[in-house]
A and B are shown apart, each in its own frame.
Chain A
Amino acid sequence: MRNKNGDMNINELLSIIIAVIGILLLIYAGYRLYQVSKNDEMENAQKVLDRINDKISSLKDGEQSELTIQGFNGGNNWYLSAWGKSDDNRPDKCFFDSCVCICKWDGTGKFKDACQTQSVCQKVSNKKVYTSELITFNVAGENGDVFIPRYGISLGKFAGVNVGFDTVFDGPIGGFNCNIIRVGQNLRNFKITVNNGEINILNNYQMRTEEAESVIKLFKFLSVSVPGGGRSPAIDERSHMCLAKYEGGGSVKIV
């Protein structure tokens, strides 16, 4: 009840104070609940990157190593990627260095932009990093170039089946050959033959569609992981393959 002057009485004042405190408590409770339920994707991505960095740092010149990377909650939208220092497509946050990043990308928009906004990155210098389709990577102390899938390794699975490379480079490198073919337009630039367990790739060869198909079949036969989780290796911007590891023995070689 208000008095004649329109002032609040003590009961009203108390009610308002209690209501305000109650609302503040509710907001705080909501915040705590949010903290409990919030996803630690960024934290987990950082953990993965820390492991990679630790591995890179521990290697001496010429040494190679492998690392298994474990997926995490929400990792389907996170991709391990990297850019060499001469790569103009690298995110601005890499500045003038080569860098390895784990970026959150939902498949829409430009990957580079996503990497600029939602990512954890690590600069890499005086190292070369290579990956295979099984996300093993090799480091050799040479110049500052980094070769890692551009939007390749989804971290929702165990060490990434969905491997992609956007950088095609010449091998052999550092004792480990990882010659890369991208499904789609770049696939047509190679000729691949198999001879005594050795796969030969002829660079700058315009492959016919039928040949491209046979190559895909060949890769299936060799148990090279087919992008897209076992779907038909249709031409897909995100579908890439790396001929890094021929499990039947032999090596991949550019001729």
Chain B
Amino acid sequence: MEKRGELSSAQIIGLVLAIVGFVIVLILLTSLDFNSYSAEETCKLSVLTRATLPSNFNQLVPLKCTTKKICITDSVVGGKCEKFSGEENVESVKLKSDAGESAKVIEEATANAMYECWNMMGQGKLDLFSGVDKPLSNVGGQIFKEFGFDGTAATSCVICSRIAFDDDINKKNLDEISGKLDVNEYMASEKVPDGSGATYLQAMSDRGVNSYPAKFKEEISSGKSKGSREIGIVFMQILTEEDPLKAFENTALRSGAFIFGGSAVLSSGGSLVRAGANSVTGIFTNFPLFLTKIGIALGVGGLSAVETYHNQQISAGYCGGFTSTAKDARHGCSIVSAVDYNNIDAVNKLCGTIEGAP
């Protein structure tokens, strides 16, 4: 017989379970500490959060992507890039004694920065800036006129990394290193660090792209481009009214400045179509691409100590429909590119607005 006011065993079990449940939830909530995440994880998380929220709300989530600072130095101890004066969390990359090896170090740092940026931003397939739809304050992307896009299209960017040279690096050594630098070739031949076995070129497009076609190589090497002592690795997304493949078509056919990965191929009629599909189905074509045009148009070749650089830095991109929770997924292109960080005009030509944190 149960006395009045005494707890029954069911009540005790219920109470204990409730307390345990609360404690677990509390622990989970307290562990939701963004300060303990690395900058890359935090950025990736904010990118995914934004991409998975309904388009009306996703602008409420800021992209918590802080620009990574990479200082290339030959100093054994420390090493300091004047460009990063006053900045926190500057990562140093040490050069080797041999110019060839040093060039490899720079190539690796640049290729990794591009690849990390590409992955962090969802490989360009996520609709990250969907709240940005041509507001007047966000007119950018003038550079895309060259590709056939509307010059007033809205573009948004995140500056993933900045890579700069230590001012104290011996100028003569730097010139020698610059002469051996070839980030594009590095990306075509070296494998990404994640163990997938793919080269940077393949990882950022698809396995079908093993090397640069001859015409593309010609385009890369054509003319000298301007080098920079500090480059920014920029992720840019542009929205397009029409299928981006159509917009690219004319430019692409006239120049060798593009590699279309995946299924975008030239039809027998000479137009760009999606392989195995009818080009007039109205289904937007998704395709990875590499292009030299950005480098040419911005007038910057890549990280270099010398005034002119021996080739164009390529940009990697994705065009097509974006993955989004919105009913009508929008479409456009995403590009990760190396730009001269201190060429403000050029960056503003590329980017209508900047997100992330400096």
Contact = CB atoms under 8 A, between A and B. Distances in A.
Nearest to B53: A37
B86 interface: yes
A25 B348 contact: no
A40 interface: yes
Nearest to B84: A51
A53 B29 CA distance: 38
B137 interface: yes
Nearest to A57: B86
A90 to B, nearest CB: 24
A47 B358 contact: yes
Interface string B20-64: 001001100100101000000000000001000000000011111
B358 A10 contact: no
B137 A158 contact: no
Most buried by A among B140, B354, B355: B354
Given A36-B34, A55-B85, A159-B348, A68 B342 contact: yes
Contact of B11 (A10, A35, A40, A66): A10
Given A10-B7, A36-B32, A72-B358, A157 B18 contact: no
Interface residues of A, number: 51
A43 B159 CA distance: 17
B29 A25 contact: yes
Contact of A72 (B15, B347, B356): B356
A254 B345 CA distance: 26
A48 B358 contact: yes
Given A10-B5, A158-B344, A28 B29 contact: yes
B1 interface: no
Nearest to B88: A47
Given A14-B14, A28-B29, A159 B344 contact: yes
Would you call the interface of chain B mostly helix, strand, loop, or mixed? Answer: mixed
A66 to B, nearest CB: 8
Nearest to B157: A158
A18 interface: yes
B341 A156 contact: no
Contact of B355 (A29, A36, A50, A72): A72
A73 B355 contact: yes
B139 A73 contact: no
A201 B84 CA distance: 37
A196 B317 CA distance: 44
Contacts of A171: none
B354 A158 contact: yes
Contacts of A225: 345
Given A10-B11, A134-B345, A72 B357 contact: yes
11 contacts: A11-B11, A21-B22, A36-B34, A39-B62, A40-B64, A51-B358, A68-B341, A72-B357, A156-B137, A158-B354, A230-B139
User: Which 3 A/B pairs are nearest by Cβ-Cβ distance?
Assistant: A54-B86, A71-B354, A70-B358
Interface of B: 5, 7, 11, 14-15, 18, 22, 25-26, 29, 32, 34, 49, 60-64, 67, 85-87, 136-140, 142, 157, 159, 341-342, 344-345, 347-348, 351-358
Given A55-B86, A72-B358, A161-B348, 15 more contacts: A14-B11, A25-B22, A28-B26, A29-B25, A32-B32, A39-B62, A51-B85, A51-B87, A54-B85, A58-B85, A69-B358, A70-B358, A156-B137, A158-B351, A159-B344
